[in-house]
Amino acid sequence: MMENNTAQHPSKQIGWTREQMAKRAAQDIPDGAYVNLGIGMPELIVKHIPEGREVIYHTENGLLGMGDSPAPSEIDPELINAGKKPVTAIAGAAYFHHADSFAMIRGGHIDICVLGAMQVSQSGDLANWSTGEAGAIPAVGGAMDLVAGVKRIFVLTQHTTKQGQAKIVHQCSYPLTGQGVVARIYTDLAVIKKTGDGLEVVELAPGVSPQYLIEHTECELIFPKGSA
């Protein structure tokens, strides 16, 4: 089992924080995109879209034009996202039936979906809803529809588990959400994209060397010429 970054380097920060990871992922979301954000860390992206860009957020429970989290005094218990967290609605937002929301997803009308992950394989397979253990999570929810219908899937996740095990692997051992669906992976250690030849490192986080990334990744990585 691999050691995690904090155990190996207790005196200094290695890589990006959660907020920095979200900010880095937000940089790759283009102006005018329709975006669905998964539960958890992906929700942080709302706060980090570069100034001057307009992004329209979709949530599968029936809202297009989702805003940031409300102030405690402005919470509307009837206005929530798919993760049951209070949200706001921007001017011009639209509400619709759950079935219509999934018609948007299945019809290919959402540009980007950012999801968390338990595992991503070297071929871009995604496992993000169950470890296979009984009683852990009741169901996959809308994730399978999202990875099948959305144009591009980004993953935002820690590079390893809390126990130091790699989350980017040769082959997923957990139940798959989708095969070959992941376009980009944003972790605390690096930005990685899927190519026809495998997983290519786009950017290393501060303090992360190519060797350190290799040691914390189970599958082979492609580095730009001269970087590894």
Q: Residue 9 — very low, low, confident or very high, per pLDDT cuts 50/70/90?
A: very low
Measured distance CA(167)–CA(182) in Å, rounded: 14
Question: What was the pLDDT predicted at 75?
Answer: 96
Helix, strand, coil percent values for the chain (each to nearest 5) = 20, 25, 55
Q: Which domains occur in the chain, in start order?
A: 5-215 (3.40.1080.10)
**How distant, in Å, are the alpha carbons of 120, 196, 215 from that of 125?**
6, 14, 21
Q: Amino acid identity, residue 28?
A: D
Measured distance CA(219)–CA(228) in Å, rounded: 15
Residue of 51, 60, 200, 215 with catalytic role? 60
Question: What was the pLDDT predicted at 198?
Answer: 96
DSSP tally for the chain: helices H, then strands E? 5, 12
Q: Are 5 and 78 in contact (CB under 8 A)?
A: no
Question: What was the pLDDT predicted at 13?
Answer: 75
**Could you report the per-residue pLDDT of 26-83, keeping only the tens digit for each?**
999 999 999 999 999 999 999 999 999 999 999 999 999 999 899 999 999 999 998 8
Q: Amino acid identity, residue 116?
A: G
Question: What was the pLDDT predicted at 133?
Answer: 73
60 is catalytic: yes
**Alpha helices, DSSP H, located in the chain:** 5-8, 18-26, 98-106, 143-149, 210-215
CA atoms within 13 A on the CB side of 95: 6
Q: Amino acid identity, residue 63?
A: L
Closest CA to 227 of 204, 193, 195, 194: 204
Question: What was the pLDDT predicted at 121?
Answer: 98
**How distant, in Å, are the alpha carbons of 14, 15, 26, 214 from that of 209?**
10, 10, 23, 9
Q: pTM of this prediction?
A: 0.90
Question: What was the pLDDT predicted at 227?
Answer: 62
Measured distance CA(132)–CA(139) in Å, rounded: 11
**Could you report the per-residue pLDDT of 143-158, keeping only the tens digit for each?**
999 999 999 999 999 9
Q: Residue 140 — very low, low, confident or very high, per pLDDT cuts 50/70/90?
A: confident
Question: What was the pLDDT predicted at 228?
Answer: 55
**How distant, in Å, are the alpha carbons of 62, 66, 99, 101, 114 from that of 88?**
13, 6, 21, 18, 19
What is the 8-class DSSP label of residue 24? H
